[in-house]
Amino acid sequence: MNTIKLFQEDVYIKKFTATVINKDIEDGKSVIILDRTAFFPAGGGQSSDFGTINGLSVLDVFEKNGVISHIISGSADFNTDEMVTCEIDWPHRFKNMQRHCGEHILSGMFFREYGGVNRGFHMGKEYMTIDISLEENSNFTEITWAMAKNIENLSNSIIWKNAPVITRFFENREEAEKLPLRKALAVDDDIAIVCVGNIENPSDCVACCGTHPAFAGEVGLIKILKVEINKGMYRIHFKAGEEALLDYQEKHEIIAKLNSRYSANTFDLLEKVFIQEEKNKAYRAQLNTFRQLLLKERVMETEAALVSSDGIAVVSFEALKVDDLLQIGRSVTDEISKLLLIISYEESTILFFSDGKTVDCGKLVKETAHIYNGKGGGNNNQARAILPKPENIPTYIDLIQKHLR
């Protein structure tokens, strides 16, 4: 016996009673079948309803061959033919209704204005997407941001007009196909057609098994977030309903913080950000000039240390990163007679440089770093050792010097 679908009779049913027809246990969860239900099963891009049956949480709902199953965690103490009280998680349901209806309106407008056919719909946790294929109107070969904004405005005007949203049910294709469908039918029976607006000139009219509000005004708001090319189509990222409002509130708070930081308002914020970026660019260029001058000085100091050493030169520089120290070491490679060690106490790192013949840097690090619980590696000419404690560096350097003498 097929389950009676109360959500098709009245989408606003929040609480109802039903009779248990069957109960099974699968993977430690109860699978409950009722004679009737207002729980919407996952389908048509829409997630299932949540809620409770006799106070026990409904985790998932799915339909197979006309029978709707309700998944409950653990073992539900229900008996066959028992009457149970069921309650829908209304905030979750209504959010899905807003989002799904928003998708209908947006898809309908893309089709009406640009001949864009919705070839894919995904209702994600953070946002929704539709994939629009421009195949019905040869005048349009791309979807620009200006076109997307136009669709957004048109879609919201339908919401503000509070157009009726009516779902009609048909037993066969013949009657259903008399409606001005946006998309050809893919089923032959048990057909549900959702129509937004006047049936003679609807904003959208398409087959859909999901739940929708009675009026478009309940969607509240549609906001397109992004347009991107995807597999030869245009993927539209958007939000609808409460999620669109929350998205605006979050971004408004971000803008307010930026306004405060840049002593700006919404109208001149971007200009002030761009001005600051140009200043930062000039500062970075000036800083790089100073950095190069400092590196030249450090290279000369390193060359002097190599000349005065007995073959093993040791230098350390503050306020320089390891990448800077690598640049210094590579600049003097031809002047190394035996070994050059450059120390970064800030990063607890010792860089090894040699001509690769007198001393094998990689082998030397491998043989010694572990003594101080260090790690590292490299090749003949260059290697590095990283010690867990920078205070161990002097004794480690002493070890290296004794090892090579």
For the segment 138-173, what is each residue's pLDDT rounded down to a tens digit? 999 999 999 999 999 999 999 999 999 999 988 888
Query: Do residues 240 and 226 make contact, with C-beta atoms less than 8 angstroms apart?
Result: no
Q: What is the pLDDT of residue 77?
A: 86
Tell me what the mean pLDDT of segment 221-228 comes to. Answer: 97
Least confident of 7-16, 83-92, 124-133: 124-133
In angstroms and rounded to an integer, the radius of gyration of the C-alpha atoms of the chain is: 35
Domain ranges of the chain: 4-88, 94-257, 294-404
Query: How far is Cα 169 from Cα 176, in angstroms, rounded to an integer?
Result: 8
- DSSP secondary structure string for all residues of 307-327: HHSSSEEEEE-SS--HHHHHH
Which CATH code for domain 294-404? 3.10.310.40
Report the amino acid identity of residue 319.
A
Q: What is the pLDDT of residue 27?
A: 84
Tell me what the mean pLDDT of segment 396-404 comes to. Answer: 91
The pTM for the full model equals: 0.77
CA distance from start to end of the chain: 92
Query: How far is Cα 319 from Cα 366, in angstroms, rounded to an integer?
Result: 27
Query: How far is Cα 29 from Cα 321, in angstroms, rounded to an integer?
Result: 57
Mean pLDDT of the chain: 93
For the segment 234-265, what is each residue's pLDDT rounded down to a tens digit? 999 999 999 999 999 999 999 999 999 999 99
Equal CATH topology for 4-88 and 294-404: no
Query: How far is Cα 106 from Cα 100, in angstroms, rounded to an integer?
Result: 10
Query: Do residues 36 and 6 make contact, with C-beta atoms less than 8 angstroms apart?
Result: yes
What are the structure tokens assigned to 390, written together? 């920078």
Residues sharing a CB contact under 8 Å with residue 270, sequence separation 6 or more, in sequence order: none
Q: How does residue 321 score in pLDDT terms, banded at 50, 70 and 90?
A: very high
CATH class name, domain 94-257 = alpha beta
Query: How far is Cα 145 from Cα 122, in angstroms, rounded to an integer?
Result: 21
For the segment 329-372, what is each residue's pLDDT rounded down to a tens digit? 999 999 999 999 999 999 999 999 998 888 999 999 999 999 99
Which CATH code for domain 4-88? 2.40.30.130
